[in-house]
Amino acid sequence: MADSLNLGAPQVDLWGDAGSDIDFTVTLTTALGVAINLTGYSATCIIKFGYAEPTAAISISSSGAAPSTITITPLTGKIAVHIDHTNTATLTAPRSYVYDLTITNGTVTQRKLFGNLNVRPQAG
Domains defined along the chain, listed by start: 2-120 (2.60.40.10)
Segment 80-93, tens digit of pLDDT: 999 999 999 999 99
Residue 3: per-residue pLDDT = 41
Residue 2: per-residue pLDDT = 42
Ranges under pLDDT 70 in the chain: 1-7, 124
Residue 65: per-residue pLDDT = 87
Type of residue at 18 = A
Residue 73: per-residue pLDDT = 98
97 CB-near residues (< 8 Å, 6+ apart):
47, 48, 49, 57, 91, 116, 117, 118, 119
